[in-house]
Amino acid sequence: MENGSAELEVPLLNESDSPRAETDPESQLEVPSDLGDDTPRNGGVLNDEPVFESLDYDPIFNIVSEKSTKSKQARRVYGYTGVTLAKWSITILIGVSVGLVACIIESSQEYLVTRKKNFTQRNISHGLVGTFLGFSSFSISLVLVASCLVLFWAPAAAGGGVTLVMAYLNGTDIPDFFRLRTLVSKIIGSICSISSGLLLGQEGPMVHIGAAIASLLTWMHGTFPNPKKVQSSSDSRSCCNNLRPKAFPFDFHNDKDRREFITAGTAAGLAAAFGAPIGGVLYSLEEASSFWSRKVMWRSLICCTFATMVLALINWWEFSTSLPGSMSFRGLQPVFIVRDLPFFVITSALTGILGAFVNTTHGWLDKLRPRSTHKLLRILEACVVAFISVTLMFVLPLHFGQCLPVPDEKTSSGTMDKDYWFKYTCPDENPNTGVAYYNDLATLFFSLPRQSMQELYQLSGQTKVDFTIQSLGIHSISVLIMFILAYGIATPGGIFMPAMLVGASFGAFIGRVLEAMFPSGNIQPGLHALVGTASMLGGVFRASISLVVIMVEGTGGIDFILPIIVGIVVSNWVAHHVHHAGAYESDLERLGGVYFLQTEPPHQLLAMSASDLMSYNVICFHEIVSVAEVVEVLRSTRHNGFPVLRHSQLDNSSGGGKFVGLILRQQLLLLLEQRAFMEVDSTILSNPRAPKFSPCDKQLSKEMQFLDHAMRVYHHYHYPHRRYLSSRPEALNDLDVDEIMQAISSTNTKPDTPVEGDIRTVSDTPKKVLALDLRPFMNRAPITVRRECSAQRVYHIFRTLGLRHLCVTDSHNRVIGIITRKDIAMAQKQAYVSKSRKSFQH
């Protein structure tokens, strides 16, 4: 250990040379006060706070990959490698799998809800209390299953998951988010929580499920040995001997390719949930993904089409209707007349305010909710919310529900199952007249949200009263309460469907009120329910085009496009004045450890340059570096990227050098893990002329190719969370660093005989040091900027290329600073804080 400790940090410039952040006294607010100092921030120091690391969307160009790419190109058959075919096959497979999972969730949920409804109807005549207890204990058991799965087995499965999918696609690596156990928990948990009576939907979970399926399917190609077994090799010279991936014909394990598939999976998830393939693609473009291209659009469209097609096929097979998804409403009776538009503006504005109110109250409640470390409290919270929801469902219809005659099939929409109408405590069917009765409020509460929305959209004027004003008012208030309470508990479940139900119910209520106020206005509450749904989505999520398309696809035509657009535009505008951001953006702001780069940089960055954002005293390595130094640096910092320098005569005295590449922590960890050491003359470490790198000159060794491939797939394979650990000190414990250090001390006294072509052998000088040769693996083409580069430009470079590290160099190509994604995100945050402080002062 002592060997390397002396060379721990490689300062590039003397302290006096380091440029300091220039803080303009005139613009104190613009230039963030904590940017530009030379102390490493988050990630540089060792503490126990969870740190989400960034993804590398910028590919690594190194000697090994360049050579192997060239040899792959040479192996083309008629100019075709088969990669495109493999990619499309995986895309179709993702679509089909997402469609199947959507079908499983949909039918299980329908089965459980219908069972609960039938149980209530059968037993209610024997005693209300007994039925209530039976119903609530079943609901609570379902919630217990869902929350225990989340809290004890797969914490990443909590909630809807859309926010974290957005964070991932923006460049933040979320540990365990796409693991098989998370996927399984999400599927089972969603079925349980949605069927329990909690007001949650499957649309958000379907987005996460689609993304997780896509991520898992990209791993199918090739197998990899367990690195733990490799570690057991005690021979420090058996570099890569155990590392034998069986096959990796197609390499989709890099972050960039996975991002494409995950974007397509995300779109397919939403498409399957709503039965809206184009809406799914647009949603992915507008909300979920941060990087988009024509290729991604095609991939998403094909994926969505297959997902929806599978769902339609199964529905046709089982129910003889090919309407897929939970948002497929056809044959709506109300007719849109342009004259109604002013009324729609009123509905949209009021519903938009309600949507923004949901976001505000969620923010308040979030502060009061128990933290996920208090697992029992979180479970208790979920059960209490479920109990409150069930109590509201049972008690309110008793007191406020109206007994109405079940509509005649001829007069009713005809699209709804007769079983939809729920008798509850209403009188039995009159044997003389044959008229059966239903409790309107109980019907709304006990049915699937999709069924209730279908009926609410059918409300077409005074001639037919399926739900009274009082019931609609009480239903909308109570579902709003149930929605706010359930939004944020520790079970899987999304907020799309709840928002839609609240909007539909509230819209129908406003429609009925307007109808009562303007009896001759021919107002159709069904259309107000539709506008209310669109407006609630606009108010809560602030999306626009994708919502319009989802609604249009759901309602089966463009007849209602104008009211829907009015609803979304007005609600977005009104909601913005009540709460500054949509649900996902607000969640991203609250999430600790997630650094989200918005599409456009804040204006405040205009007055700043790269030197205001960068960290100084960058820790670098030389091309050939002693193992002791690497171990020491990895132990004492959490940085994930290190510039690689080449000795030059000029910098020899200060230990600096020219910037020639960038090496990642995960690459260094794998080199250590695989004992890819070489023994070199200790003088080489400080020699201006490093020995020539021979193995790459003629033929690239297989071991190196495997090692390079392993570095790329490292964190995606056997230990998907490994990367998360990689910047933690514990990761080094796995490597058995003590053994490495023993090897180092024994090497110092051991003479060695060089073996030709062995990557460990560089020279045969008698005094040896164990070292790593970073040259074959380092990224030889990392992007750099000069310190004068505008901060906005730096932001755009990060945002458009999906960068993780950006080195700042001087005119001699020497590293003077480093900027990471987190530095940019911190600057963005500071800018927004200063902006809100300013507007507050005004």
Between 450 and 639, CB nearer to ligand ATP: 639
Q: Is 784 in contact with 808 (CB distance < 8 Å)?
A: yes
Between 639 and 814, CB nearer to ligand ATP: 639
Cβ of residue 809: shortest distance to ligand ATP, in angstroms?
Answer: 14
Choose the binding region for ligand ATP from 37-45, 215-223, 450-458, 546-554 (rule: CB under 6 A): 37-45
Give the other-Cβ count within 10 Å of 597's Cβ.
Answer: 18
Among 87, 378, 709, 822, interactor with ligand ATP by CB under 6 A: 822
The secondary structure of 568-602, three-state, reads HHHHHHHHHHHCCCCHHHHHHHHCCCCCCCCCCCC
**String of DSSP letters for 733-758:** HHTTHHHHHHHHHHHTT------TT-
Among 43, 204, 525, 782, interactor with ligand ATP by CB under 6 A: 43
Cβ of residue 815: shortest distance to ligand ATP, in angstroms?
Answer: 9
Going by C-alpha positions, the residue among 830, 794, 603, 787 that lies closest to residue 31 is 830
In Å, the largest CA–CA distance within the chain is 110
The total number of residues written for the chain in this structure: 842
Between 19 and 556, CB nearer to ligand ATP: 19
Cβ of residue 633: shortest distance to ligand ATP, in angstroms?
Answer: 9
Among 804, 809, 830, 834, interactor with ligand ATP by CB under 6 A: 804
Residues pairing with 663 in the sheet: 642
Among 19, 40, 222, 245, interactor with ligand ATP by CB under 6 A: 40
Cβ of residue 676: shortest distance to ligand ATP, in angstroms?
Answer: 21
Between 19 and 40, CB nearer to ligand ATP: 40
Give the other-Cβ count within 10 Å of 396's Cβ.
Answer: 19
Cβ of residue 52: shortest distance to ligand ATP, in angstroms?
Answer: 8
Question: Which string of x and - marks every residue 720-739 that binds ligand ATP (by CB under 6 A)?
Answer: -------x------------
Choose the binding region for ligand ATP from 42-50, 343-351, 548-556, 782-790 (rule: CB under 6 A): 42-50
d(C-alpha 248, C-alpha 689), whole Å: 37
Between 799 and 821, CB nearer to ligand ATP: 821
Task: Please state, in angstroms and as integers, the Cα–Cα distance from residue 426 to each residue in 126, 391, 404, 406, 417, following that order.
Answer: 14, 19, 9, 11, 19
Among 3, 10, 31, 54, interactor with ligand ATP by CB under 6 A: 54
Q: Is 162 in contact with 460 (CB distance < 8 Å)?
A: no
- Looking from the CA of 678 toward its CB, the CA atoms found within 13 Å total 26
41 binds ligand ATP (CB under 6 A): yes
Write b or e for each residue in 599-628: b if 16 or more Cβ atoms lie within 10 A of its Cβ, otherwise e. Answer: eebbebbeebbbbbbbbbbbbbbbbbbbbb
Among 250, 274, 642, 717, interactor with ligand ATP by CB under 6 A: 642
The helix/strand/coil state of 792 is helix
Give the other-Cβ count within 10 Å of 694's Cβ.
Answer: 13
- Looking from the CA of 324 toward its CB, the CA atoms found within 13 Å total 31
Cβ of residue 661: shortest distance to ligand ATP, in angstroms?
Answer: 13
- Looking from the CA of 147 toward its CB, the CA atoms found within 13 Å total 26
Q: Is 311 in contact with 141 (CB distance < 8 Å)?
A: no
Cβ of residue 40: shortest distance to ligand ATP, in angstroms?
Answer: 4
Strands 641-646 and 621-622, sheet pairing: parallel
Between 105 and 644, CB nearer to ligand ATP: 644
Between 475 and 639, CB nearer to ligand ATP: 639
Choose the binding region for ligand ATP from 152-160, 178-186, 386-394, 634-642 (rule: CB under 6 A): 634-642
Cβ of residue 794: shortest distance to ligand ATP, in angstroms?
Answer: 12
Between 26 and 49, CB nearer to ligand ATP: 49
Among 7, 30, 53, 203, interactor with ligand ATP by CB under 6 A: 53
Cβ of residue 720: shortest distance to ligand ATP, in angstroms?
Answer: 16
Choose the binding region for ligand ATP from 235-243, 346-354, 403-411, 816-824 (rule: CB under 6 A): 816-824
Between 615 and 779, CB nearer to ligand ATP: 615
**First-last CA distance in the chain:** 58
639 binds ligand ATP (CB under 6 A): yes
Between 58 and 515, CB nearer to ligand ATP: 58
Between 476 and 617, CB nearer to ligand ATP: 617
**String of DSSP letters for 62-73:** -HHHHHHHHHHH
Question: Which string of x and - marks every residue 596-625 that binds ligand ATP (by CB under 6 A)?
Answer: -------------------x--xx------
d(C-alpha 242, C-alpha 233), whole Å: 8
Applying the rule CB under 6 A, the residues between 163 and 182 that interact with ligand ATP are: none
Among 641, 661, 776, 802, interactor with ligand ATP by CB under 6 A: 641
**Angle (nearest 5°) at CA 716 between 714 and 717:** 75
Contact residues for ligand ATP (CB under 6 A)? 40-44, 53-54, 615, 618-619, 638-642, 727, 804-805, 818, 820-823
